């Protein structure tokens, strides 16, 4: 989960939120949709907004900020967003049996990020719990969480070096991925048969490790070269990715196996696939031992 921009779920309904001015702001349209069960929550909010202003409570509406959130097409679009305090006021205007349980839920998720800022270990603990619930093993989770920390360090470095977020971040990430794996993020996503799923959530141990190596190397190079702005950081990204790419190729030569895999965890959870892989290795080992014993007996008897 991206710490600055995330989805949360209330009774199987997704609600977008964004971290702004040191607090969570939630998509008003999403909240209205959950509480009203309207087939057209945007229009419901438009009518409700007009009614609230007519009643003289326009302060509640004006406290809704236009913030960028991902739309259905994946692009960032300005959306009416409100913090917890403003949402509590808006909820009073929506007749719904879900109002009270939603208030309790909102108080919890609204405060969640504040707790994580005060104690970052809470964020990691919550993240691990979420991945465990999705069927990931402890071994995989440790690498995934470490990878998130490496990624955060890199993006912080880019911000400090004058790289613009969103578009330039995406380009630099593609540079690292292309040099590391021979594929851009979109190409890699397609290769694994994914659509809107997070690519890294469908990488195996080695893919995660080489992703970390590429990004950690890029951070190191950007610092040592004091890369400033997009062009210089693009060079650093290519070099950092190449270091990881060269290491990957060397491993593939020595092991005789490809690191880049089309495998994903859409149907079978990672933990189950890990168990299956271990059992397959055990069977192969047993077969090899059997062959050696059989060959040894044959040689002994001159067969």
What is the mean pLDDT of the segment spanning 174-200? 95
pLDDT at 159: 93
pLDDT at 180: 98
Residue 82 confidence (pLDDT) above 60? yes
Residue 4 confidence (pLDDT) above 50? no
What is the mean pLDDT of the segment spanning 17-37? 87
Residue 280 confidence (pLDDT) above 80? no
pLDDT at 37: 84
What Å distances lie between residue 39 and 10, 36, 92, 135, CA to CA?
Answer: 17, 9, 20, 33
Instruction: Tell me the per-residue pLDDT of 35-48, one tens digit each, with 9 for 90 and over.
Output: 988 889 999 998 98
What is the mean pLDDT of the segment spanning 135-148? 94
CA distance 212 to 143: 9
Residue 10 confidence (pLDDT) above 70? yes
DSSP secondary structure string for all residues of 202-232: G--HHHHHHHHHHHHHHHHHHHHTT--HHHH
Give the model's confidence band at 173: pLDDT under 50 very low, under 70 low, under 90 confident, else very high. very high
Return mean pLDDT, the chain.
Answer: 85
Residue 287 confidence (pLDDT) above 70? no
% of the chain residues with pLDDT over 70: 84
Range with lowest mean pLDDT among 48-57, 198-207, 210-219, 274-283: 274-283
For residue 190 the two structure tokens come to: 């397609």
Residue 272 confidence (pLDDT) above 70? yes
Q: Whose CA is closest to 147, among 166, 133, 127, 163?
A: 127
- The owner of tokens 């007519």 is 54
Q: Whose CA is closest to 236, among 146, 154, 164, 181?
A: 154
What is the mean pLDDT of the segment spanning 60-69? 83
Instruction: Tell me the per-residue pLDDT of 123-132, one tens digit each, with 9 for 90 and over.
Output: 677 788 888 8
3-state secondary structure of 245: helix
Give the helix/strand (H/E) hosting 11: none
189 vs 59, more confident = 189
CA distance 85 to 25: 10
Residue 121 confidence (pLDDT) above 70? no
DSSP classification of residue 302: T
Neighbouring residues of 227: CB distance < 8 A, sequence distance ≥ 6 = 161, 221, 233, 235, 236
pLDDT at 2: 45
Range with lowest mean pLDDT among 59-73, 185-199, 230-244, 286-300: 286-300
pLDDT at 285: 55
Give the model's confidence band at 289: pLDDT under 50 very low, under 70 low, under 90 confident, else very high. low
CB distance 16 to 30 below 8 Å: yes
pLDDT at 209: 98
């Amino acid at each position: 989960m991206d710490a600055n921009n995330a989805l949360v779920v209330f009774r199987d309904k997704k609600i977008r939120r964004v971290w702004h001015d040191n607090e969570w702001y939630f998509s008003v349209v999403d909240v209205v949709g959950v509480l009203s069960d309207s087939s057209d929550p945007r229009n419901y909010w438009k009518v409700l907004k007009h009614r609230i202003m007519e009643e003289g409570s326009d302060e509640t509406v004006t406290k809704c900020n236009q913030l960028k959130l991902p739309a259905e097409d994946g692009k960032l679009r300005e959306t009416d967003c409100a913090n917890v305090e403003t949402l509590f006021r808006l909820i009073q205007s929506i007749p719904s049996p879900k109002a009270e349980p939603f208030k309790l839920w909102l108080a919890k998720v609204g405060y969640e990020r504040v707790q994580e800022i005060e104690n970052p270990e809470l964020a990691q603990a919550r993240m691990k719990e979420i991945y465990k619930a999705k069927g990931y093993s402890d071994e995989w989770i440790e690498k995934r969480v470490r990878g998130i920390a490496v990624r955060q360090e890199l993006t912080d470095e880019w911000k400090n070096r004058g790289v613009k977020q969103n578009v330039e971040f995406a380009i630099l990430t593609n540079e690292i991925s292309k040099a590391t794996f021979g594929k851009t993020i979109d190409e890699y996503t397609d290769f694994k048969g994914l659509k809107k799923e997070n690519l890294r959530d469908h990488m195996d141990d080695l893919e995660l490790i080489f992703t970390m190596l590429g990004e950690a190397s890029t951070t190191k190079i950007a610092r040592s070269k004091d890369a400033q702005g997009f062009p210089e950081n693009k060079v650093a990204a290519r070099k950092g990715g190449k270091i990881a790419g060269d290491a990957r190729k060397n491993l593939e030569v020595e092991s005789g196996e490809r690191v880049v895999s089309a495998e994903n965890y859409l149907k079978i959870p990672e933990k189950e696939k890990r168990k299956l892989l271990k059992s397959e290795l055990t069977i192969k080992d047993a077969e090899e031992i059997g062959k050696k014993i059989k060959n040894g007996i044959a040689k002994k008897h001159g067969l």
